[in-house]
Amino acid sequence: MSTKHVNKEMSDVSRHILDVAAIHFAEKGFAGARVDEISAEAGISKSSIYYRVGDKEALYHGVIVHMVSSMLEVTRDRVQKVSDAREKLDVFIQTTADFVLSCPHFSPIMMREIASGGANMSTETLTAMGKLKDYLHEILQEGTAQGVFRQVDSGLVHLVIGGAVNFFAASTPIRDKLIQLSDEHECKCLLIEKEAVVNEISEFVYRAVKADR
C-alpha cells in the first residue's frame, strides 16, 4: 500500500475520489470493488487516482479512516454537551444512529470489516473504535455510580447498540425484499420510519440497562 499526501490537507479531488470509492467498497467490498468503476464514476482517470490517493488499499484505508475519525469526532462533540447519564446514553445512541444512517456506506463497510476479522484495519482505526467504546464505558459507569443504571458490561452494550444500529442501517434492502415476499400478512413492524426505530433502540437499551428499581 502506498499513501500519498498523508499529512497535507486533503484536496477536493481526493475527497471526491474517496467519496465515490466509499460507495463501491460499501456495495461490493474490497475485493469486489473495481478501480476502473470508481475512476469512471468519479470522472477522474485511473492514473490520477493513483497519483492523488495511491493504490486500491490506500483508497480503502482513506475511506475507513475518514469515516471512523468523523464518527469519533461527532460523537465526542455531541456527548459532551449533555450532563445527565441517561441523556448521555441516549445522545450516544442517537449520534451513532444518526451517523450510521446519514452515511449509508458506513454500515456495509464496517460489517464487512468485522466479518473479515479486521484484516484491513489499521491500528489508527482500531484505536478510534476503542475510544468510542471507552466513551460508552464512561457513560455507563457514571450512570451506575448515580444509581440510574444497573451493573452492566459496557462491551456488551456496545455490541448491542452497534449490532442493532448497523444491522438496521444495512438491512434496509433485505427488509424491502422480505416485505415484497410476504404480502399476505400486513407488515407488522415499524422498521420503515428511521427516527422511530432509533428511538425504539434507545428505549430498548435504556430498559435493558436501567437500575432494577
Partner DNA sequence: TATGAATGAGTGTTCATTCAT
Partner DNA sequence: GATGAATGAACACTCATTCAT
Given the rule CB under 8 A, which residues bind a second copy?
Answer: 26-32, 107-109, 111-118, 121, 123, 126-127, 129-130, 133, 137, 153-156, 159-160, 162-168, 170-175, 177-178, 181-182, 188-191, 197, 200-201, 204-205, 207-208
Residue 109 or 157 having the CB closest to DNA: 109
- Integer Cα distance of 78 and 99 in angstroms: 12
Q: Quote the least distance from Cβ 81 to a second copy, whole Å.
A: 25
Exposed, middle or buried, 133 (CB in 10 Å: 0-12/13-18/19+)? middle
Segment holding 188, helix H or strand E: none
Residue 39 or 125 having the CB closest to DNA: 39
Residue 16 or 199 having the CB closest to a second copy: 199
117 binds, among DNA, a second copy, none (CB under 5 to 8 A by kind): a second copy
Note whether 51 and 37 are within 8 A (CB): no
Q: Quote the least distance from Cβ 77 to a second copy, whole Å.
A: 23
Question: Nearest-5° angle of CA 158, CA 102, CA 69?
Answer: 60
Alpha helical stretches, state H, 104-184: 106-115, 123-145, 154-170, 172-181
Q: At what angle do helices 85-102 and 194-209 cross, to 10 degrees?
A: 140
Q: Quote the least distance from Cβ 99 to a second copy, whole Å.
A: 16
Question: Cell 467519496 sits at which residue?
Answer: 19
- Integer Cα distance of 60 and 145 in angstroms: 41
155 binds, among DNA, a second copy, none (CB under 5 to 8 A by kind): a second copy
Q: Quote the least distance from Cβ 130 to a second copy, whole Å.
A: 5
Q: Quote the least distance from Cβ 166 to a second copy, whole Å.
A: 7
Residue 81 or 151 having the CB closest to a second copy: 151
